[in-house]
Structure 1
Amino acid sequence: MKFAVLGSNTSTSLSPKLHSIVYDILELNHSYSFIESSDIDQDMLLKYNGLNITNPFKKSIINYVDNVDPLAEKIGSVNCIKYTNSKIYGFNTDYYGFNQFIKSNNIELFNKNILVVGAGGASLSICSYLNDINKKFKILNRTYTNTQHFINKLNISNNYIYDGKLKHYDIIINCLPNNVNFLKMLERNEIDYHRSTSIIDINYLTNINYINDNQNYYNGIDMLIHQAIKSIEIWIEKDISQIVDYQIIKDRLKKDA
């Protein structure tokens, strides 16, 4: 079977290595590559058994999908598609990946002030998760119009939009693209990130140079692995969570990187 990751900047993605490791563990003769494109080609989608979708197509890919999974439809973001029986099916595995990431790292969300930075497809999944478990959060984004569309999609009030009143957050979650300076955006809004207890950066290629000894820093590698496992389960229609060892995958990925 043939799989790939589709996005505008996928040549540095760890997904091909990650999936190759899992296929090796499962003894599956599947291939996984990357597709770097500035737009979505309908004919190209049909050449693969499945695709992971990344920035900037997680929202727009829905227009090319025949059947959207209820969770992905509710969130408004698809990051995994499957082509079978002449139809394209869309799913969201970011939601699952973030949920497993929180659990595997024992991150406590109870009674915490949470700031989510960015309003893209991954942010939709994360904010939907936080909203589903009744956690309060604020959304900081570069443009107000996109933020308004964002909260309308999540069916939450304007109270969730960052208003500048609180300058310190216990947990900051960065969902901005890797080429956007996360820290400068916080500084422009006078947010004191040095006082945050945890900083979660879903970008797994980000350099860590702003964390002090009293802070916990998490990058996106755990979320990447968990959502990848879920994608593979969708594609091969088999539960592999009890077969593959998450830590072994992570160790091999670091070794091969």
Structure 2
Amino acid sequence: MKKYVVIGDPIKHSMSPAMHNDLFQHYGLDANYERYHIKRGMLEQGLMGLRDRNVNGFNVTVPHKTDIIPFLDELDPLSKAIGAVNTVVCENGKWIGYNTDGNGYLQALKKQIPDLSEQKVLIIGAGGAARGIYFTLAYDGVKWIDICNRTMEKAIALKEECPFAVDTKILSIHEAEKRLGEYSLVIQTTSIGMSPNIVESPLEVDNINKDAFVSDIIYNPLQTKMLTCAKEKGANIQNGIDMFVFQGALAFEKWQGFFPDTERMRASVLRQLGG
């Protein structure tokens, strides 16, 4: 039996095992996926235990996505540029790192907006998720991507570290709120508004363009306060389920050699969320 795990701290909340095990059963694969708790600061010891188990692949979640890099044998170019890994393929004794977060988000977004090249984009946040999405959109050829963040220094650093050509301005939250109507695509990448803090919003959307598309990578709740307010203003919205599904599908493809049924995966996640 092939063995797959997801590592992180905390890890009990992860919905990946149910999603992947459902796929293994659906496709008749002799494989199993489970959670593997590695505490912050204990990564090296935890990975030694993982090598002893001869796993075939694993996902990496917070807080290990960056710290794992020195323990890998190879990195694909995008994960190297982003500086974070969320998927590892174990083959012929080598551990090869990939980042499917950005591409997972991109595929989910392209279901709604097939041509992103002329979109004027605002990214809210400058953390790990913002980095993956910003670099991937820039790599894909999006020309204008502005960034707003509570700590502007982090946003400036993100802009300076991007190795791909893109026109980017750094805005405060207040500036972004005033200029929100300029953007056709707004992407929320922070944890603000995630359950249980569902009354919070990273910024006010009073000035949103009614023709804008607003995407929030949070999927619990299914509709954050920011998405609710944007929808009330007439904007089209997307929650984080499709990103979660597509990053998982891309990981599955790297492990199994074929792309799985994302609608089935989506239904599995919704079942787990009770919706």
Place the TM-score, normalised by the shorter chain, in its bin: 0.7 to 0.9
Structure 1: gaps (5+ residues): none
Partners of 1:226 and 1:56 in 2: CA distance: 21
Partners of 1:59 and 1:143 in 2: CA distance: 20
SS at match of 2:171: coil
Partners of 2:137 and 2:41 in 1: CA distance: 31
Per the TM alignment, residue 39 of structure 1 is displaced from its structure 2 partner at its CA by 3.3
Residue 247 of structure 1, aligned match among 260, 263, 274: 263
Partners of 1:182 and 1:74 in 2: CA distance: 35
1:44 alignment partner in structure 2: 46
Aligned residues: CA RMSD: 2.8
Partners of 2:107 and 2:199 in 1: CA distance: 24
Residue 170 of structure 2, aligned match among 161, 176, 184: 161
Q: Do 1:130 and 1:136's aligned partners in 2 also have CA atoms closer than 8 Å? A: no
Partners of 1:159 and 1:75 in 2: CA distance: 17
Matches within 5 A, 1:85-234: 85-106=92-113, 109-132=116-139, 133-155=141-163, 159-163=168-172, 164=175, 166-168=179-181, 169-177=183-191, 178=194, 184-187=201-204, 192=206, 194-195=208-209, 197-208=212-223, 209=225, 210-211=228-229, 212-213=231-232, 214-234=234-254
Partners of 2:112 and 2:271 in 1: CA distance: 21
Q: 1:182 to 1:255 in 2, by over 3 A?
A: closer
Per the TM alignment, residue 158 of structure 1 is displaced from its structure 2 partner at its CA by 8.9
1:72 and 2:79 are equivalent in the alignment: yes
Identity over aligned pairs, percent = 27
State the one-letter code of the partner of 1:8: D
TM-score by structure 1 length? 0.83
Q: Do 1:4 and 1:32's aligned partners in 2 also have CA atoms closer than 8 Å? A: yes
Partners of 1:144 and 1:35 in 2: CA distance: 35
Q: 1:202 to 1:23 in 2, by over 3 A?
A: same
Q: 1:219 to 1:9 in 2, by over 3 A?
A: farther
State the one-letter code of the partner of 2:44: Q
2:64 alignment partner in structure 1: 57
Count of equivalent residues? 250
Question: Quick check: 196-205 or 158-167, which moved more?
Answer: 158-167
Q: 1:87 to 1:30 in 2, by over 3 A?
A: same
SS at match of 2:35: strand
State the one-letter code of the partner of 1:41: L
Q: Do 2:118 and 2:142's aligned partners in 1 also have CA atoms closer than 8 Å? A: no
2:36 alignment partner in structure 1: 35
Structure 2: gaps (5+ residues): none
Task: Write out per-residue CA displacement over residues 75-102 of structure 1, whole angstroms, 9 at most, x where no aligned residue.
Answer: 2221111233333211111232122112
Per the TM alignment, residue 105 of structure 1 is displaced from its structure 2 partner at its CA by 2.6
Per the TM alignment, residue 41 of structure 1 is displaced from its structure 2 partner at its CA by 1.8
Partners of 2:132 and 2:142 in 1: CA distance: 14
State the one-letter code of the partner of 1:206: P
Q: Which has the higher contact order (CA 8 A, sep 6+)?
A: 1
